[in-house]
Amino acid sequence: MTTTDRTAEKAPGRASGPQSDGAAKALEPLVTSLLGPDLPIRIQMWDGSELGRSGSKTMLVVKSPMALRRLLYAPNELGFGRAYVAGDLDLQGDIFAALALRENLSVQQSGAEPGVKLGLSGWLKALKAARELHLIGPPLPAPPEEAHLHGRRHGTTRDAAAISHHYDVSNEFYRLFLGETMTYSCAYFADERWELDRAQEAKYELVCRKLALCPGMRLLDVGCGWGGMVMHAARLHGVKAVGVTLSRNQEELARKRVAEAGLSSEVEIRYQDYREVKDGPYDAISSIGMFEHVGLARLGEYFAALGRLLRPGGRVLNHAISKPSGPSKFQRNSFVERYVFPDGELHEVGTVVSAMQAQKLEVRDVESLREHYARTLRAWVSNLEARWDEAISLAGPARARIWRLYMAGSALGFEAGRISVHQVLAVKPTDNGSSGMAPTRRDFVGWEQDAS
């Protein structure tokens, strides 16, 4: 059974069929003021009463009044996320349609993300409904899956704990939705007909071409995940590759995959922080989907470390999720920060370019893959929902819910342009200033070759 097949649990003593009174009636003024009078989905309360479009297959099910208490204390995505992770509410049917309701919320200021802004009138309505429904009480403890890190932010020990929180869940759980390539970053759909696995191989090929990999070169892949990039580069481009990760689960499976592919003499997988890599120089460095863990305060240190590991004329490609504008910052009270990527920070691509060039890495190419990531995430959500019972058995219901909510919400964020993803290619200058770059972009990223 998948998440889209479920029906709401029947509450004890509930009358058959949807009701318009009860909890729904008490909450209707508040819901209407926040989301408007014409809801495109159904909202079903724990007592069977409903709001919204009758007959809609997409439904927000408030399974317990405790969901509303969580929202009273955190009237934003964190409160919603806690209620969903705890099982106090559920999203049935099309999760993308349900999450799109956030676009109906009041925008706090021009250019800001949609968010709850109750105001005095809204708070009065919320408190009135809370009294009628007997929701007043102390705050509820957060679900145990919420991250609580200690130590110096972006120090090596705390970074390892943050990586472990996200990646050391279950390799088989990740395989359910990532597919056989086990690639946890944006795919590249150079051909609209391609499925996910082929598009992930195409992304690796795109990176290899930008780095101009050739037989005999040394490649360092920072944040190597389950080894996809280093295996692709060794198999198809003849490089000697080193992949480093701070996830024990990833290290173990990546080594196994390398051995099974017969690449043990070409590929080395290490449990190692990028700051501890000392065996340069490398001809090329890739960093795909790891940069979000570095932090604004560490950007200079990060690119300086990569620069020291590169030979003159060597290239580095940084592939990372980015924010559209404004100063880099992290959201302490966001759902993603608390449950998915603790200590994660997104940076505006101009900040990244400036940080690279400040460390004498000449930026030569910048490419956005925003729409590609939206499609990738939708494929991951579809895979997860199709094997929902397996996901629960492997990672538990709370973890499965976290990843479903995080990936669906992220897909909508990429589609709306609230977040993006960029590949930034830079070259370490030689003494005579030669970059070694091809004269045109088509020369090094053309797609005449089959990337499968």
* CB atoms near residue 438 (< 10 Å): 13
DSSP 269-296: EEE--GGG-----EEEEEEES-GGGT-G
| Domain presence at residue 277 | yes
Distances from the Cα of 321 to the Cα of 345, 380, 424, angstroms: 9, 17, 11
d(CA 99, CA 58): 10
**Which token pair is 224?**
């190597």
Task: Verify that 295 and 261 share a domain, yes or no.
Answer: yes
| Domain presence at residue 48 | yes
d(CA 446, CA 209): 9
Residue type for position 226: W
d(CA 341, CA 293): 8
Hey, which residues does 44 pair with through a beta bridge? 50, 61
Task: Verify that 391 and 436 share a domain, yes or no.
Answer: yes
Task: Verify that 39 and 161 share a domain, yes or no.
Answer: no
Task: Verify that 274 and 167 share a domain, yes or no.
Answer: yes
d(CA 31, CA 34): 5
* CB atoms near residue 27 (< 10 Å): 23
d(CA 57, CA 95): 11
Total number of domains constituting the chain:
2
d(CA 13, CA 28): 22
Task: Verify that 122 and 170 share a domain, yes or no.
Answer: no
Q: Give residue 153's pLDDT.
A: 76
Distances from the Cα of 272 to the Cα of 119, 218, 269, 305, angstroms: 49, 17, 9, 14
Q: Give residue 452's pLDDT.
A: 42
| Domain presence at residue 233 | yes
| Domain presence at residue 175 | yes
| Domain presence at residue 405 | yes
Q: Give residue 113's pLDDT.
A: 47
Identify the domain boundary among 100, 132, 164. Answer: 132
Q: In terms of Cα–Cα distance, which of 232, 342, 223 is closest to 272?
A: 223
Quote the pTM value: 0.85
Task: Verify that 56 and 189 share a domain, yes or no.
Answer: no
Q: Give residue 227's pLDDT.
A: 98
**Cis before 114? omega within 30:** no
Task: Verify that 216 and 111 share a domain, yes or no.
Answer: no
Q: In terms of Cα–Cα distance, which of 298, 303, 283 is closest to 220?
A: 283
Main-chain phi, psi angles of 373, to 5 degrees: -70, -35
| Domain presence at residue 237 | yes
Cβ neighbours for 179, distance < 8 A, ≥ 6 positions apart: 196, 197, 200, 379, 383
Q: How many Cα atoms within 13 Å fall on the side-chain side of residue 390?
A: 13
Count Cβ atoms within 10 A of the Cβ of residue 203 and give its class: 0-12 exposed, 13-18 middle, 19 or more buried: buried
| Domain presence at residue 141 | no
Task: Verify that 88 and 209 share a domain, yes or no.
Answer: no
Question: Tens place of pLDDT for every residue, the chain, 452 residues?
Answer: 444 434 333 333 333 344 557 888 887 877 776 677 788 889 998 889 998 888 898 999 999 888 888 887 787 788 889 999 999 999 999 999 999 887 665 433 334 444 455 555 655 666 677 666 777 778 888 888 887 777 777 778 887 777 776 666 789 999 999 999 999 999 999 999 999 999 999 999 999 999 999 999 999 999 999 999 999 999 999 999 999 999 899 999 999 999 999 999 999 999 999 999 999 999 999 999 999 889 888 999 999 999 999 999 999 999 999 998 865 555 667 888 888 877 778 999 999 999 999 999 999 999 999 999 999 999 999 999 999 999 999 999 999 999 999 999 999 999 999 999 999 999 999 988 888 888 888 887 775 544 44
Cβ neighbours for 380, distance < 8 A, ≥ 6 positions apart: 177, 178, 196, 407
Main-chain phi, psi angles of 147, to 5 degrees: -80, 140
Task: Verify that 232 and 325 share a domain, yes or no.
Answer: yes
Q: In terms of Cα–Cα distance, which of 84, 51, 46, 85 is closest to 65?
A: 46
Task: Verify that 403 and 291 share a domain, yes or no.
Answer: yes
Provide the domain limits for residue 66. 3-132
Contact 356, 302 (CB under 8 A): no
| Domain presence at residue 316 | yes
Q: How many Cα atoms within 13 Å fall on the side-chain side of residue 362?
A: 13
Task: Verify that 247 and 164 share a domain, yes or no.
Answer: yes
**Which token pair is 221?**
């892949």
**Which token pair is 163?**
């990586």
Secondary element (H or E) of residue 252: helix 248-260
d(CA 216, CA 231): 14
Cβ neighbours for 69, distance < 8 A, ≥ 6 positions apart: 130, 135, 137, 139, 140
CATH number at residue 160: 3.40.50.150
